[in-house]
Amino acid sequence: MTVQERFLNYVSYWTTSDEDNMTDAGARIPSTERQFDLGRVLEQELGGLGLREVTLTDHCYVYGLLPATAGCENRPAVGFISHMDTAPDFSGQNVKPQIISDYNGKDVLLAGSGSYLKVSDFPSLADLKGRTLITTDGTTLLGADDKAGVAEIVTAVEEIIASGQPHGDIWVGFTPDEEVGCGADLFDLDYFKAAFAYTVDGDYEGEVAYENFNAAGASFSVKGVNVHPGEAKDIMVNAALVACELASMLPADETPAHTEGRQGFFHLTDMQGDVSSASLSYIIRDHDKTSFENRLNMLRTLEAEMNRKYGAGTVTLTIKDSYANMLEIIEQHPHVIEIAREAITSVGLTPLSRPVRGGTDGARLSFMGLPCPNLGTGGYGFHGPYEHITVEGMQTAVRVIREIVRITAERE
């Protein structure tokens, strides 16, 4: 089966995770039962290819092992990981891909919504001229994040088997709930016995990313005092207005809309309330660890200031760490990056390493003891109706995976 056929099959499964399916003890994994639909397909497919140790866990993690070929048993075991869920930001149900052969490099009509995928918004589209472009129809996301990665890994393994390519142990792992920050929570490193691994969950072809945000979620809960407005003088505390005041006290130019590269931000994701109660939800991001801690301390200072102004217990701040910058771990294992860069160069691309303005399962797995940078899938515009990818980009990712396996098997 080709990588295109696999990808189109995988995106037909509705696997959206649910960020609201949380408890005080953490996320229920998987957050949606529908993720098992794709998990069962992958379990059967890996078994059909002849992998060993294939399992689908009760928490919807899929693992498999392609044992080393003769003479390579002592080479380091390498792993490849992708996630099965799609982002809850936009619908992932009833995906209707548009397949455009010999793409002309111009704006693309998304037939389901009537909107356009525009070159002015995505300048990289011009570089995809002449390829087979796959887009959404504008009514859903596509699911290339990260079903492209899943398809690329499975296809690479199938090609390795069919070609008789020598290799050490190759572990593959597919996770649920990465999009809601829980993909690595129950990843079993006692079962998945790779020396190092790569998440195949990036965008640009030739990307090997190993520097990501430090990340946390933060929420302010505001308790108001609600009395009749005619008798409210010096009594009423309007929780909604306090929430607005809180939001206004954070730097206006330190939001996602005004930052890039390694610049961090405060991102207000949800705000609701009335006179009696209100809440604000933020995600906090920064590449620099000190700056990240300063951001969290700024929130703590705001909590204290507002309680001094409006009374103790008016504002309650809750902070939950999400993931940390994997750079400090990867720097201790430079060979993992060297192998990826050599592989990318060998397929004719210039390796691209940028600070990732997000995170992957690999960031947390690195801190769990499995060095795990991120490889590009060839997809763009993730998490919305403008998501797109090319068949050629996916084929390149397959070749990069195979080259990583080759280089690992040949290194002493």
345, 351 Cβ separation under 8 angstroms: yes
Of these residues, 178, 179, 205, 387, which one is catalytic?
178
Instruction: Compute CA distances 266 → 242, 269, 281, 412, whole Å.
Output: 18, 9, 10, 46
Verify whether residue 387 is a known catalytic residue.
no
- How far apart, in whole angstroms, are the C-alpha atoms of residue 169 and residue 76? 7
pLDDT digits (tens, 9 = 90+) for 258-292: 999 899 999 999 999 999 999 999 999 999 999 99
Q: How many Å is the Cα radius of gyration of the chain?
A: 23
Verify whether residue 178 is a known catalytic residue.
yes
- How far apart, in whole angstroms, are the C-alpha atoms of residue 71 and residue 104? 48
- How far apart, in whole angstroms, are the C-alpha atoms of residue 60 and residue 237? 46
45: phi then psi, degrees, rounded to nearest 5: -70, -45
Domains of the chain (ranges; CATH) run 3-212+325-410 (3.40.630.10), 214-323 (3.30.70.360)
pLDDT digits (tens, 9 = 90+) for 353-409: 988 887 788 989 999 999 999 999 999 999 999 999 999 999 999 999 999 999 999
CB neighbours (10 Å) of residue 310? 19
Q: Token match 């005041």: residue?
A: 245
Mean per-residue pLDDT of the chain: 95
pTM over 0.85: yes
End-to-end Cα spacing for the chain: 33
What does the DSSP 8-state code read for residue 66? E
pLDDT digits (tens, 9 = 90+) for 220-241: 999 999 988 998 899 999 999 9
pLDDT digits (tens, 9 = 90+) for 16-70: 999 888 654 455 899 999 999 999 999 999 999 999 999 999 999 999 999 999 9
Of these residues, 43, 85, 152, 205, which one is catalytic?
85
Q: According to DSSP H, which parts of 197-346 are helical?
A: 239-248, 289-310, 327-330, 334-346
Give me the helix-helix angle, 391-410 and 334-346, nearest 10°: 130
Helix or strand or coil: residue 386?
Answer: coil
